Structure 1
Amino acid sequence: MDTIAECMKPLLNHDKPTNAVIYGNCSTGKTTAVKRILEHIEKITTKVVCVYINSESKNKRDIYNHIHKKIFGYIIEQNRIGTSEIKNKIVSYMRNKHKSLIIVLDEADCLKKELDDIVKSLLKLHEEYYGARVGLYLIAYDVKILNLSSSTNSLFQPKEVFFNEYSKEQVYDILSKRCDYGFVKGAITERQLKEVVNVSINIRDGLSILMSLGRLAERDNSKKIKDEYLNKIIYKIV
């Protein structure tokens, strides 16, 4: 998080930022970390517009329209004006208000062939419109699957920020704290929680198991997670 924040920090003074690719396996905290940073930036300054976009099933027009909605509060209908006009409107606002722009494209690999064109278009805003400052941050499973062209990479020049997978000890610690929030005290034993941790692929999987166990307890009006629930959810023993 410190590394990502340092990449974005120059934008607070309308200086050139460091772009970044944030990558790592599922449920390693990439999206949560970035959203927390954006929330903090929006609390401490009005000089930066932070735009988080989940890139699934989106194209270049959708991307610019999403930025437009963040700034102006509404989406422009398909046939009203073209992508270039939307882009011009966005940049005019940024320049007139002397604001910088942070764009986060989550699940960037979902953009596939369009990603290269989108990245190039966003990064060239500063060249095409003097005074426009844009920081671009892509979140993905792996850097290699982004498959950006050499010309785009030379323009992008991202810092790579890798999120390691959690160790079993970290998974236990996180799930234990979630149990404190979600269950009544003593609802699940340490042994049961360790069983959940041992079979969990990642944090998200572990939370899903805990939720399923909790629902079974609620169904039976039980204040404790019974071993039979673990057998049913974890080991598929009915």
Structure 2
Amino acid sequence: MIRDARVLRAGFVPREVEHRDAEVNHLSSVLEPITNGDPADTAIVTGPSGAGKTCISKFVTERLREEVLNVETTYVNCWRNYTRFRTLYQILDDLGATIDIHRQSTPHDELVDRLQQHDGPRTVIILDEVDQLEDPSVIYDLHSLPQFAIICIANKEEELFSRVDDRLVSRLRSSEHVRMDKYHDEQLYDILSARAKWGLDEDVITDDQLYRIADAAAGDARLAIGILRTAAGKADRENHER
């Protein structure tokens, strides 16, 4: 029944992204300067839950890493790493620079100084759920470091701007904005069809069932993929052929 369980996970980044060509091209163009060793603008990616914000951000940065040798990427879930310290620590940890950092006693400014001294490859930092940060000043810390390109992911710009001070609001408003709408049922069907093609055995699910899932998910790709995963798992456990 299940050929590749990875494909059915919401965090899986496919080789091709369905129905987001314009957004992928926009974000790629924003990050393009770092391929030449130049600073890139901060990108703010917004849209409702399940619109593909995290997926396209990871897709674009992974494609960059495939094309350019001296570009790296790090991902921070700000829902989990909601403090300034934990966000900075996660970035430094991904860069391999936390060996002598003590979680209990190292001051925040020392973490910022360490990032400032980072002389490795240009790095794209994805801050997911950035509006959940307890102290949004960490965005200002990172915004001032030219060796890093920042992608801020949030559901709504207004919620993000309402939580930061005026000096950062003006910088964020002048950043590149990639806005995404929720998917239509036909688009969700295409996404589900691709996941079923690569993740499930052939002919185990009908087009009608995929459309029913798309309709039930109401524009949320994460929910649609979750329904497909749950249904496939249940059928597999009960030894059904379809």
Quick check: TM above 0.5?
Answer: yes
Distance in 2 separating the partners of 1:182 and 1:198:
21
Q: 1:22 to 1:189 in 2, by over 3 A?
A: same
- The match for 2:171 is 155
Distance in 1 separating the partners of 2:230 and 2:71:
41
Q: 1:186 to 1:41 in 2, by over 3 A?
A: closer
C-alpha deviation, 1:119, in angstroms: 1.6
1:161 is paired with a residue whose SS is: strand
- Identity, in percent, stands at 23
Checking the alignment, whether the CA contact within 8 Å between 1:47 and 1:100 is kept in structure 2 is yes
RMSD of aligned alpha carbons = 2.1
Question: Aligned ranges for residues 159-178 of structure 1 at < 5 Å?
Answer: 159-178=176-195
Checking the alignment, whether the CA contact within 8 Å between 1:24 and 1:142 is kept in structure 2 is yes
1:165 is paired with a residue whose SS is: coil
1:136 aligns with 2:150: yes
1:184 is paired with a residue whose SS is: coil
- The match for 2:118 is 93
- The match for 2:5 is none
Q: 1:100 to 1:182 in 2, by over 3 A?
A: closer
TM-score where L is the length of structure 2: 0.78
Q: 1:199 to 1:79 in 2, by over 3 A?
A: closer
Q: 1:178 to 1:48 in 2, by over 3 A?
A: closer
Checking the alignment, whether the CA contact within 8 Å between 2:52 and 2:221 is kept in structure 1 is no
Distance in 2 separating the partners of 1:72 and 1:161:
30
1:72 is paired with a residue whose SS is: coil
C-alpha deviation, 1:90, in angstroms: 2.4
Equivalent position to 2:221, from 181, 200, 203: 203
Checking the alignment, whether the CA contact within 8 Å between 2:76 and 2:87 is kept in structure 1 is yes
Greater gyration radius? 1
Q: 1:154 to 1:192 in 2, by over 3 A?
A: closer
1:197 is paired with a residue whose SS is: helix
1 or 2 for the larger relative contact order (CA 8 Å, sep ≥6)?
Answer: 2
- The match for 1:82 is 107
1:105 counterpart letter in structure 2? L
- The match for 2:231 is 213
2:140 counterpart letter in structure 1? K
Q: 1:217 to 1:70 in 2, by over 3 A?
A: closer
Distance in 2 separating the partners of 1:65 and 1:101:
15
Checking the alignment, whether the CA contact within 8 Å between 1:184 and 1:223 is kept in structure 2 is no
Distance in 2 separating the partners of 1:177 and 1:63:
34
Q: 1:118 to 1:180 in 2, by over 3 A?
A: same
Distance in 2 separating the partners of 1:184 and 1:102:
36
Q: Which has the higher helix share?
A: 1
Q: 1:15 to 1:183 in 2, by over 3 A?
A: closer
Provide the aligned length of Structure 1 versus Structure 2: 213
Question: Aligned ranges for residues 93-132 of structure 1 at < 5 Å?
Answer: 93-94=118-119, 97=120, 99-112=121-134, 114-115=135-136, 117-125=137-145, 132=146
1:68-94 CA-partner distances (Å, limit 9, x unpaired)? 112225462223532222222222232
Following superposition, which runs of at least 4 residues in structure 1 exceed 6 angstroms of deviation? none
Q: 1:77 to 1:108 in 2, by over 3 A?
A: same
Q: Mind listing any 5+ residue stretches in structure 2 that lack a counterpart?
A: 1-23
1:204 is paired with a residue whose SS is: helix
Distance in 1 separating the partners of 2:116 and 2:72:
12
Distance in 1 separating the partners of 2:69 and 2:197:
37
1:56 counterpart letter in structure 2? W
Q: Mind listing any 5+ residue stretches in structure 1 that lack a counterpart?
A: 126-131, 225-238
Distance in 2 separating the partners of 1:120 and 1:55:
15
- The match for 1:33 is 56
- The match for 1:19 is 42
